[in-house]
Structure 1
Amino acid sequence: MTTEITEATTALSTEQRRDLLRQMILIRTFEEAILREYHADKGPGFDIGKGLIPGEMHLAAGQEPVAAGLCAHLETGDGLTATHRPHHLAIAKGMKLRSLAGEIFGRESGLGRGRGGHMHLFDPVTHFSCSGIIAEGFPPALGQAFAFRRAGNNNIAVAVAGEGAANAGAFHESLNLAALWKLPVIFIIEDNDWGISVARSASTSVASNADRAAAYGIPGVRIENNDVEAVHAAVGQAVARARAGDGPSLIEVHTLRLWGHFEGDAQGYRLNLDTVSEGDPIPAYRGKLLDAGVVTAADIAAMEAEASTQVEDAIEHAKNSPTPNPAEALKYVFVEGV
C-alpha cells in the first residue's frame, strides 16, 4: 500500500523536540563561528578581514529546520547528497566537527586533507557528499539507492538541493528513473526564495516544485513556514515509504536564507533585507518549546554552552592543524601504482 505524504505533523516526544532544538542550535553555533573566522584578521602582516579560511563561503543560517527534521530519521548507512551550502546537513548527518572544520580551513586534518574545501565534503563514514555543481547530487543519490536495493539492505538515499536545481535536467531525469525503478530515494528541495540575485518566481514556472512530483507518479508535498516539526513528519512518511519498497518521494521546504548567497554578497537585490531576521527559525522554535514547557531557559543555556564547547574545539583543532604541502599537490589525484 502506498503511503501518501501529508503536511500533518505527528506527535513528538519531549526528548525528540529537545533534540531538534539542540541540533538546530549546534548547526547555528558552527555557522556563526565559521562566519567569524572567515572575516577575522589573520594577524600582523596580513590584510585585515581576509581570515584563515580560503575560497568562497556559503552558509546555511536559517535552513536548520531542514537538516534537523530530515536527519532525525536517517541512519548512519543511509546516503545523503547535498549542495554548495552543506554544513547544516553534514552536521545533522553526524559528521565529526573537527573533520568538517579542518576541511573548511583547508588543513590536513580535514575530510579531504584540505584539498576539497567547504563545497566538496566527502565522508564515507556518514555516507555524506556534496558539490558546488547545481543539481549534481541527484544522480549519485540514485546510484546509492540502486546499490542499497541490490545489496538487499534497508538503507535509503536522500538528495537535497536548492529550488533552482529543480529546473535542471538532472532533477527531472532522476525523478523519472527513480519512479520507474521504485528506488528507495527521497528528493528534498530547499526553497530559500533567492538564488544569487533573483527570486525563484523569476525562473520557475510553478508555485511549488512539489507539484512536479505528480508528473512522475510519486507523492509530493510542500512544507511552509520553515517548520521543523512539519519537516520531521513529512520526512518520516517518506522514509517509511522508501524503506517499505514503495519508491521515491519529493518534499519541498519553504525555508529561509538569513545571510547572503555567499560571504561578501551585498544582497542589493533583496528589498526586505532589514526584516529577514524576523523569520529566524531558532528563536521561533525556542519560544514555542518554552511556551509548551518542553524546555526551560536553563535547558537552552546548557544546549548553547555544549554547542559552543564542541564548535570552538573543532575550530581550534583546525587552526592548529598543518596546511597541505604544495609539493604533494598531486598525491591524491592519481591512484598509486596505476
Structure 2
Amino acid sequence: MFELGKYKLNLKQYVDSYEKMLLIRRFEEKCGQLYGMGLIGGFCHLYIGQEAVIAGIDLAKDKDDSTITSYRDHGHIIASGIDPKYVMAELTGRASGCSKGKGGSMHMFNSEGRFYGGHGIVGAQVPIGTGLAFAEKYNNTNKLCFTFLGDGAVNQGQVYEAFNMAALWKLPVVYVIENNEYSMGTSVVRSTAMTDLYRKGESFGIPGFQADGMNIESIYNAAMQAVQYVRSGNGPVIIEAKTYRYRGHSMSDPAKYRTKDEVEEKKNHDPVAAVRQITIDKSYASEEQLKEIENKVKKTIAEVAEFATTEALPSEDELFTDIFK
C-alpha cells in the first residue's frame, strides 16, 4: 500500500514548513526558559526535535479534520492555527490562556481549530480520538481524526480496545505513533516485545507503515497516502514516525538514561536545520529571505512572552466554573 517518495513538497510548502517548525522550536525553547524562571509550573513536556512530525501531518490534513494528542501538545495546538500567545498564556496560568489558565501545559484545547487536547493520562486520547472518528462517520462528514500517541502509550490496554473498534467499524482515524525511542525514560527495546510499532494493529487488520520522523517529506508522503486510504472508506491506518526528543521526558527529567554522544549524533539530523538546508539547496528561498523569517519568528516569540507574563491571572470565581458535579 505504501509507496516511498510518492508525494513531494513544493517550494511554498518547504518555506511555510520552515517557518512553522522554527516557530514551534523557538516557542518550546522559550517555555524552557520561563519554566526555569519559575513562571511555568507543574509538568511541562517539550517537543524539541519532533517538529517535522506535526508539520508534515499538517500539510496533509484538511482544515476541518480533527486532531488529538497526549500531554506533549504545544506543537500540535500551535499547528491547529491558534495564536501562540494564548498557548503561552495558558502555560503561565493566565486568564486569557486557551483553557482559561486552568489546564496548563498538559490540558489545552482549540475547538475552533478542531484540536481536542492535550491529555495527561498516557493513552487516554486514543479512545477519545477513536470516538471523534466515530462521530465523523456517524455524521457522514468525510473528515478524519489524527490521533497522536507515543511509544509508551502503545503498551496501554485501552489503545487496543480502540484499535479493535476502529477496525470493526472502519472508522476514519489515522493513528500517528510518535516513537521518540524512550517513552518516559525506558527505551523501546526494553519495554516492547514488538519494536516495529507500525505493526501493532495487524491482528485487527489495520495496515501500518513507518516514516522518518526527522524528515518532513517522509512524514508528508506517509500522511498523504494514509489520508487517501482512510478517506476512501477503508478504515484506520497507523503511521509510526521514528523521531527523537532532544530534551528529557519533562522539564524535571535530566535524561541520564542516554549518553551525550547519542544525543549529539541525533542532532546531526535536526529536522528544523534539515528543512532550512533543503530550502537553500533547492533555491526555494535565499539566505536573506530565511533571515527575514527567523527575525519574524524571533519578534513573535518576544511578543508571546510579553503577553504571557503580563496578562491577568484568573479571578477566584474561576475556581468554580467548568466543574462537573
**TM bucket, shorter chain:** over 0.9
The answer to which of 289-298 and 105-114 deviates more is: 289-298
Alpha-carbon distance in 1 for matches of 2:318, 2:18:
42
1:73·1:236 contact (CA, 8 Å) conserved in 2?
yes
Q: Which of residues 281, 284, 295 in structure 2 aligns to 1:294? A: 284
Counterpart position of 1:77: 64
- The alpha-carbon deviation at position 8 of structure 1 amounts to 2.8
User: Quick one: distance in 2 between partners of 1:165 and 1:29?
Assistant: 27
Cα distance between partner residues in 1 of 2:252 and 2:269: 22
Contact 1:162 1:190 in 2 (8 A): yes
Deviation at 1:31, TM superposition (A): 0.8
Query: How far did 1:273 drift?
Result: 4.0
Which of 9, 18, 23 is equivalent to 1:21?
18
User: What is the aligned counterpart of 2:271 among 272, 275, 281?
Assistant: 281
CA deviations on 1:256-308 (whole Å, 9 max, x unpaired) are 10111111321111123454433321112211221222222112111112222
After TM superposition, list the pairs within 5 Å mapping 1:236-255 onto structure 2.
Answer: 236-255=224-243
Task: Normalising by structure 2, report the TM-score.
Answer: 0.94
**Using the alignment, how far apart are the partners of 2:322 and 2:118 within structure 1?**
19
Which residue does the alignment assign to 1:7? 4
- 8 Å contact kept, 1:9–1:230: no
Aligned partners of 1:241 and 1:328: how far apart in 2? 44
TM-score, structure 1 normalization:
0.90
Per-residue CA deviation, residues 210-260 of structure 1 (Å, 9 max, x unaligned), is: 122322212210113621101001101111222221211000011110111
The letter of the residue matching 2:254 is A
Matched, 1:37 2:15: no
Q: State the alpha-carbon separation in 2 of the partners of residues 284 and 303 from structure 1.
A: 16
User: What is the CA deviation profile of residues 108-132 of structure 1, one whole-angstrom value per residue up to 9, with x for unaligned ones?
Assistant: 0011111110100122111111211
Structure 1 residues 273 and 14, CA, compared in 2 at 3 Å: closer, same or farther?
closer
After TM superposition, list the pairs within 5 Å mapping 1:157-168 onto structure 2. Answer: 157-168=145-156
Q: What does 1:61-76 correspond to in 2, within 5 Å? A: 61-76=48-63
Distance 2:25 2:125 in 1: 24
Extract structure 1 runs of 4+ deviating beyond 3 A: 273-276
- Deviations, residues 173-218 of structure 1 (Å, cap 9, x unaligned): 1111111111111000001111222111100111211122322212
Does the Cα contact within 8 Å between 1:106 and 1:115 map onto a contact in 2?
yes
Residue 100 of structure 1 deviates from its aligned partner by 0.9
Which runs of 5 or more structure 2 residues have no equivalent in the other structure? Answer: none
**Percent pairwise identity:** 32
Distance 1:153 1:274 in 2: 45
Matching residue's letter, 1:16? Q
Match of 1:87 in 2: 74
Structure with a larger share of its residues in helix: 2
1:5–1:287 Cα change, 3 Å: same
What is aligned with 1:133?
Answer: 121
Q: Does 1:234 align with 2:226?
A: no
**Structure 1 regions of 5+ residues with no counterpart?**
41-50
> Which one-letter code corresponds to 1:244 in the other structure?
S
Distance 2:318 2:23 in 1: 35
Relative distance call for 1:328 and 1:284 in structure 2 (3 A) is: closer
- Distance of 1:114 and 1:159 partners within structure 2: 25
Three-state SS of the structure 1 residue aligned to 2:148 is strand
1:333 corresponding residue in structure 2: 323
Write the distance in 2 (CA, Å) between the matches of 1:184 and 1:332: 30
The match for 2:313 is: 323
Q: Determine if contact 2:53/2:241 at 8 Å carries over to the other structure.
A: yes
SS in structure 2 opposite 1:110?
A: coil
**Cα displacement string for residues 119-146 of structure 1 (whole angstroms, at most 9, x for unaligned residues):** 0012211111121111111111111111
Q: 1:59-208 residue pairs with structure 2 within 5 A?
A: 59-128=46-115, 129-208=117-196
- Pick one of 244, 247, 258 that aligns with 1:259: 247
1:58 aligns with 2:31: no
Are 1:83 and 1:119, in contact at CA under 8 Å, matched by a contact in 2? Answer: yes
Native 8 Å contact 1:139 1:170 kept in 2 = yes
CA 1:57–1:304: 2 relative to 1, 3 Å: same
- Residue 213 (structure 1) aligns with: 201
Paired with 1:151 and 1:99, the residues of 2 have a C-alpha distance of 31
In the alignment, the residues of structure 2 paired with residue 288 and residue 204 of structure 1 have an alpha-carbon distance, to the nearest angstrom, of 35
Name the counterpart of 1:47. none
Counterpart residue type for residue 181 of structure 2: D
Q: Secondary structure at the match of 1:222?
A: strand
Matching residue's letter, 1:123: N
